[in-house]
Amino acid sequence: MTQNIPRKTVETILLDHGSGGLASQELISTLFLKHLGNTILSALEDSAVMDNQLGRLAFTTDSYVVDPIFFPGGDIGTLAVHGTINDLAMRGARPLCLSLGLILEEGLPLADLERIIISIRDASLSSGVPIVTGDTKVVPRGKADKIFINTSGIGLVAEGVEISATRAQAGDKIILSGSMGDHGITIMTRRAGIALAGDLRSDSMALHTMVQRLLAGLQPGSIHTLRDPTRGGVATSLCEIAGSSGLMIEIEEKCIPVRPEVRAACEILGLDPLYLANEGKCLALVAPDIADQALALMRSCPEGAEAAIIGTVTSGGRSSSVHGASDTGPSLAVATGRVVLKTTIGGTRVITPLHGAPLPRIC
Amino acid sequence: MKYVDEFRDPELTAHLLHELTAATTRPFRVMEVCGTHTMAIFRSGLRGLLPPEIELISGPGCPVCVTSASHIDAFLQMAELPGTHLAVFGDLFRVPGSNGTTLAHARARGAKIDVVYSAMDGLELARRNPDEQVIFPGIGFETTTPGIGATILAAGQQNIDNFMVFSTHKTMIPPLMALLGDPALAIEGLLCPGHVSSIIGAAAYQPLAEQNHLACVVSGFEPTDILQALILMARQIGEGRSEVENAYTRAVTWEGNGRARAMVATIFEPVDMEWRGLGTIAGSGLAIKKEYGGFDAQSRLSITVPESKEPPGCLCGQILKGITAPPSCPLFGRRCTPSSPIGPCMVSSEGTCSAWFTYGNETR
């Protein structure tokens, strides 16, 4: 006969875990090194020293504060790895290593932290980008929301690779690597506690392998611009590209992949998927003569299986203002460059960047 | 997607546009009453495809936009009372009150305010937080009111007494009567709001059509719905008729939803109501009846609604009346943008100014 053993109280993060003392060391060895350890990180030096890397370095940083911290398709840990890797990849860099900074709220269940660390390990292992340095701080309850993560990343940019929003050229084809809005709508519906039928999942995914395959398989210099349309969505990223290059962009609504569940949720909540965040998609602006080849290459990668050409960069940009309000005052409208959408029914509308947070409408 | 794609079919759209062009024999002005229509017309790109003879004017049918600055001030007052927790519709969050303060500012200063998707979410918030007074600022027309009414009934049945509604609910016909009395508006057709009509019924527009010699057509919100409604309207105008027609029969009946109206009548009673830009219109609002006074935030918390002060230079009032188009406002696109709105028409995604700003005006 088995005896009922009283359950141990839930172990949580205490302020002690951030003290730098024994509790910190225990957390580092029993949790962080257990899951993330490698020769550089496990040395526990004050900074990671990398072997001499010849070439140009790409360096980026991003902070992750998503709420909820767990969601279908990923969690804050997968985002922190994939997001920073993708920022490196969008300049054509091959990611080498990441840093991991954690700000933990006192009272965070240790089990939640371990689950996140395991996600970070899995994402780091599957993308082949190690965590080489890290830091943890604990703040009193209420001074942070459960867990905040910062990751920085270093990558290597090969000779001849020049990818930037300023390099977009008239005639470029615009490829979107898959369906848009999956991450944004998943978080919004979770946050609001809305249970919608259908399989809404974040698209959190690292894109550097696909980007390296594109760079290897296409004529050098033919990929002009790469952008991951995260917050602000495809609309805002395209506006940024149009703004940086001073060119005009035309996209076709019927060509833009959106999963039916995402579309349905957007219809119900009054949201536009063009403005929803993505965490595993990229926009690629490529020379027109290799566009089909680039599309085929992308589609041959699992990350880009649903890629589609969604539009074209046209000349004739440098329009002074979308709203004709620039004559007498500082217009806040897009100063240069513009994005125009051809709608399903054959009409056109101007796409502007996201203003404020997307809010659901009342009716 | 079923029930959506068939109403955005490009071939059908082209066919309907052809028919509309044939039916349009002379120029005419149409008011689309509802903010959702304004947005749908812009978003689908329909505005640039219509025959040039048809002039579309946006009406007062955006519930956030017509919420007076004084009511926003009252919501802010409640948010800053100790122990209160506001549950609000998302697009109310950034609407400025008399001195430019919004609920977003109040929350940043420490007020408890949550964005909810329905009043029932507010009731749930009250159930989970029995030590707080949860207040739902009730805004919206006949479409929204039944849901709020049902929530008040549910609160009563579940004995949740820390849930309250501050009603600024409005009805659609009185302001239209008032607006149409102004000859400056000179409209010949009214694109009647589909969602509101599903409650009040197409018959509700009969007096408007008769008294103002107006072609009234109830319309759905997809591009082909709107085109079908405009075809019926163009034919009426061409033939000199002024009738009520229903082009949204899959959702709207002649009589409307009597059960929803009866429920609203149980809880609410007509009251004079202040509209942003339109002033106070007799019998155009709904107040919570004495029997349900326990759920009435205004009386329970003794909130006095201050006098409205409109932001200087803001033309939202004129825009809501259909007299002025957004680009004519000196603030539009300069000091007033969706990021930092001055008037309410720029805040709501259904607002006329927001629609013009977001989707541009060069297509027409």
* Nearest by CB: A329 against B44, B334, B339: B334
Q: For helices B145-157 and B119-128, what crossing angle results, to 10°?
A: 30
| Domain-located, residue B82 | yes
Claim to verify: residue A118 and residue A171 sit in the same structural domain: no
Q: Are B91 and A346 within 8 A, CB to CB?
A: no
Residue B241 distance to chain A (closest CA, Å): 30
- From chain B, the residues in CB contact with A332 under 8 A are 333-334, 337, 339
Residues A64 and A202: beta-carbon distance below 8 Å: no
Claim to verify: residue A194 and residue A311 sit in the same structural domain: yes
In angstroms and rounded to an integer, the radius of gyration of the C-alpha atoms of chain A is 22
- What pLDDT is attached to residue A178? 98
Q: Among A97, A130, A157, which residue terminates a domain?
A: A157
| Domain-located, residue A6 | no
Provide the strand spans (E) within chain A. Answer: 56-64, 70-71, 74-75, 93-105, 131-139, 147-157, 173-176, 223-227, 248-252, 283-286, 308-314, 338-342, 348-351
Residue B238 distance to chain A (closest CA, Å): 26
* pLDDT per position as a tens digit, B302-357: 999 988 887 888 888 888 888 888 999 999 988 898 878 888 888 877 788 988 88
How many C-beta atoms lie closer than 10 Å to residue B186's C-beta?
11
Task: State CA B278 to chain mean position distance.
Answer: 14
- Does pLDDT of B96 surpass 90? no
Residues 6+ apart with CB under 8 A from A350: A322, A338, A339, A340, A341, B359, B360, B362, B363
Claim to verify: residue A111 and residue A195 sit in the same structural domain: no
- From chain A, the residues in CB contact with B36 under 8 A are 361, 363
* Nearest by CB: A344 against B8, B140, B195: B8
Estimate the share of chain A in helix, then strand, then coil, as percent rounded to the nearest 5. Answer: 35, 25, 45
| Domain-located, residue A224 | yes
What is the distance between the alpha carbons of residues A72 and A281, in angstroms, rounded to a whole number?
17
* pLDDT per position as a tens digit, B192-228: 999 999 999 999 999 999 999 999 999 999 999 999 9
For residue A303, which of A179, A192, A193 has the smallest C-alpha distance? A179
Amino acid at B143: T
Q: Tell me the CA distances in angstroms from B341 to A231, A356, B4, B138, B181, one per residue in order.
A: 21, 10, 32, 22, 30
Q: For helices B223-239 and B35-43, what crossing angle results, to 10°?
A: 110
Q: Are B49 and A346 within 8 A, CB to CB?
A: yes
Domain that holds residue B154: 69-171+256-300
- From chain A, the residues in CB contact with B139 under 8 A are 362
* Nearest by CB: B46 against A341, A347, A362: A347
| Domain-located, residue B1 | no
Conformational region of residue B240, where left means phi above 0, alpha means psi within -120 to 50, and beta covers everything else: left
Question: Which CATH number is A335's domain given?
Answer: 3.90.650.10
Q: DSSP letters along B57-125, please? A: EEEEE-TTTTB-HHHHHHHHHHHTSTTEEEEEEGGGTT---TTS--HHHHHHTT-EEEEESSHHHHHHH
* Nearest by CB: B117 against A328, A346, A360: A360
Claim to verify: residue A150 and residue A296 sit in the same structural domain: no
Q: Are A360 and B195 within 8 A, CB to CB?
A: no
- From chain B, the residues in CB contact with A328 under 8 A are 334
| Domain-located, residue B291 | yes
Each residue's pLDDT tens digit in chain A (363 positions)?
A: 444 444 444 588 998 898 888 888 899 999 999 999 999 999 888 999 988 777 899 999 999 999 999 999 999 999 999 999 999 999 999 999 999 999 999 999 999 999 999 999 999 999 999 999 999 999 999 999 999 999 999 999 999 999 999 999 999 999 999 999 999 999 988 877 666 667 899 999 999 999 999 999 999 999 999 999 999 999 999 999 999 999 999 999 999 999 999 999 998 888 899 999 999 999 999 999 999 999 999 999 999 999 999 999 998 644 433 333 333 333 333 344 689 999 999 999 889 888 777 666 655
* pLDDT per position as a tens digit, B279-290: 899 999 999 999
Q: Please give the residue of chain A at the shortest CA–CA distance from B350.
A: A361
Question: Which CATH number is A68's domain given?
Answer: 3.30.1330.10
Q: Is A171 exposed, middle or buried (0-12, 13-18, 19+ CB in 10 A)?
A: middle
Claim to verify: residue A295 and residue A217 sit in the same structural domain: yes
Residues A285 and A224: beta-carbon distance below 8 Å: yes
Contact with chain B for residue A361, Cβ under 8 A: yes
| Domain-located, residue B162 | yes
- Element (DSSP H or E) covering residue A89: helix A76-89
Claim to verify: residue A300 and residue A178 sit in the same structural domain: yes
* Nearest by CB: B362 against A350, A361, A363: A350
- What pLDDT is attached to residue A238? 96
Residues 6+ apart with CB under 8 A from B127: B158, B160, B163
Q: Are B36 and A267 within 8 A, CB to CB?
A: no
Q: Are B13 and A345 within 8 A, CB to CB?
A: yes
- What pLDDT is attached to residue A10? 59
Q: Are B327 and A264 within 8 A, CB to CB?
A: no
ipTM of model = 0.83
Give the pTM: 0.87
| Domain-located, residue A198 | yes
- From chain A, the residues in CB contact with B335 under 8 A are 329
Q: Strands A338-342 and A348-351: what pairing?
A: antiparallel
Q: What is the DSSP letter of A285?
A: E
| Domain-located, residue B107 | yes
Q: Are B350 and A345 within 8 A, CB to CB?
A: no
Substitution target in B2, B337, B339 with the highest count of A β-carbons within 10 Å is B337
Contacts with B, A 144-183, CB within 8 Å: none
Residues B271 and B170: beta-carbon distance below 8 Å: no
Claim to verify: residue A127 and residue A175 sit in the same structural domain: no
| Domain-located, residue A8 | no
- What pLDDT is attached to residue A359? 66
At residue B286, φ and ψ (nearest 5 deg) are -130, 125
Look-up: residue for tokens 């890629």? A307
Residue A220 distance to chain B (closest CA, Å): 38
| Domain-located, residue B238 | no
Q: Are A349 and B334 within 8 A, CB to CB?
A: no
Residues 6+ apart with CB under 8 A from A180: A229, A233, A234, A256, A257, A258, A262, A273, A274, A276, A278, A281
* Average pLDDT, integer, range B232-250: 97
* Mean pLDDT of chain B, nearest integer: 92
* Average pLDDT, integer, range B91-110: 88
- What pLDDT is attached to residue B360? 66
Q: Are B1 and A360 within 8 A, CB to CB?
A: no
Claim to verify: residue A205 and residue A337 sit in the same structural domain: yes
* Nearest by CB: A355 against B91, B140, B337: B337
Q: Among A157, A187, A217, which residue terminates a domain?
A: A157
- Element (DSSP H or E) covering residue B239: helix B223-239
- From chain B, the residues in CB contact with A260 under 8 A are 1
Q: Considering its fold, how many domains does chain B have in total? A: 1
Provide the strand spans (E) within chain B. Answer: 28-34, 54-61, 84-89, 112-116, 133-138, 163-167, 169-170, 189-193, 215-219, 244-246, 268-275, 279-288
| Domain-located, residue A362 | no
Q: Tell me the CA distances in angstroms from A195 to A138, A240, A268, B87, B236, one per residue in order.
A: 33, 34, 12, 19, 45
Q: Are B90 and A347 within 8 A, CB to CB?
A: no
Tell me how many residue pairs between chain A and chain B have CB atoms under 8 A apart.
135
What is the distance between the alpha carbons of residues B320 and A162, in angstroms, rounded to a whole number?
51
- What pLDDT is attached to residue A333? 35
Question: Which CATH number is B273's domain given?
Answer: 3.40.50.11740
- Quick one: CA torsion of A72, A76, A80, A82, rounded to 10 degrees? 0
Q: Are A267 and B4 within 8 A, CB to CB?
A: yes
Q: Please give the residue of chain B at the shortest CA–CA distance from A263.
A: B1
Look-up: residue for tokens 């006098």? B307
| Domain-located, residue B114 | yes
Q: What is the DSSP letter of A231?
A: T
Residue A313 distance to chain B (closest CA, Å): 19
Claim to verify: residue A132 and residue A184 sit in the same structural domain: no
Q: Among A90, A124, A157, which residue terminates a domain?
A: A157
- What pLDDT is attached to residue A308? 98
Residues 6+ apart with CB under 8 A from A3: none
Residues 6+ apart with CB under 8 A from A1: none
Q: Are A333 and B349 within 8 A, CB to CB?
A: no
Residues belonging to chain A: 363
- What pLDDT is attached to residue A334? 39
What is the distance between the alpha carbons of residues B252 and B230, in angstroms, rounded to a whole number?
17
Q: Are B348 and A341 within 8 A, CB to CB?
A: no
| Domain-located, residue A190 | yes
Claim to verify: residue A96 and residue A191 sit in the same structural domain: no
Estimate the share of chain B in helix, then strand, then coil, as percent rounded to the nearest 5. Answer: 45, 20, 35
**Ordered strands of the A173-176 beta sheet:** A223-227, A283-286, A173-176, A308-314, A248-252, A338-342, A348-351
Claim to verify: residue A135 and residue A193 sit in the same structural domain: no
| Domain-located, residue B217 | no
Strand, coil or helix: A226 = strand
Claim to verify: residue A173 and residue A251 sit in the same structural domain: yes
Domain that holds residue A286: 165-321+331-351
